[in-house]
Structure 1
C-alpha cells in the first residue's frame, strides 16, 4: 500500500492505463484511494481523470501556484497546470544535464 498521501498541487506520473508515463497534477483528493488529476492540456481542469493512488508515482514536486489557487478559489487555470508540469519537466532536464558525465 502506498503510504504517501498525495497533496493538492503535487505532480504525479501515471504508471497504468492509456495515459501511462504521462504527468499530471493532483487537483482533488477524493479519499484514501482516489485522486483527480489534470495537466491543463489533454486533461483539462473541468474534465480531470480519476486515478487510483496505487497506479501513480508521487514526485516530491508540489506546485505552490496550483496549490494556492485551488485553496483560495477552488479551481486553477489550465495554463497554470501546464506551466507547473512544464516547469517540473524542464527542471528534470536541467538536473540530468548537470549530472551527466561526458563519455568520449
Structure 2
C-alpha cells in the first residue's frame, strides 16, 4: 500500500464525500474491516450510534486527534465532548491556515 492509499486510523478526522452528510467532518472511532469504518462527530452522530461508512466514500485529512486516539486505545471509549472538541480544533486550524494564505492539501480518498 502506497502512502497515498493509507487506510484511515483511529482518531483521524475525515470528510464525508457521499451521502446525506456530504462535506461534514467526523472522526474514525472504529475499524470494521478493510472496507468499512465507524464515524462519529459527537453532535449529530454520537459515539453510541456511529455511522458505518465505506472508506471509498470519505476523504482522509492529515490530522489525527491524539486525545481521541489515546482515549480509544486506552479505554475503548471516547466522550462526545472530546469528539466535538477535536473537530472544532481541526476546523480552527484549517481557518487559521487559510487566513495565512497556505493552500490546503488536495483531497484524497482513504483506501
TM-score of the superposition, structure 2-length normalised?
A: 0.87
Aligned residues, how many? 99
Of 15, 18, 30 in structure 1, the residue corresponding to residue 17 of structure 2 is 15
Q: Which runs of 4+ in 1 moved over 4 A?
A: none
- What is the SS of the residue equivalent to 2:10? coil
Q: Which has the larger radius of gyration?
A: 1
Distance 1:17 1:48 in 2: 15
Of 32, 35, 40 in structure 2, the residue corresponding to residue 33 of structure 1 is 35
Quick one: higher RCO (CA 8 Å, sep 6+), 1 or 2? 2
Flag structure 1 segments of 5+ consecutive residues without an equivalent: none
TM-score of the superposition, structure 1-length normalised?
A: 0.92
Query: Please, what is the CA RMSD of the aligned residues?
Result: 1.1
Partner of 2:61: 59
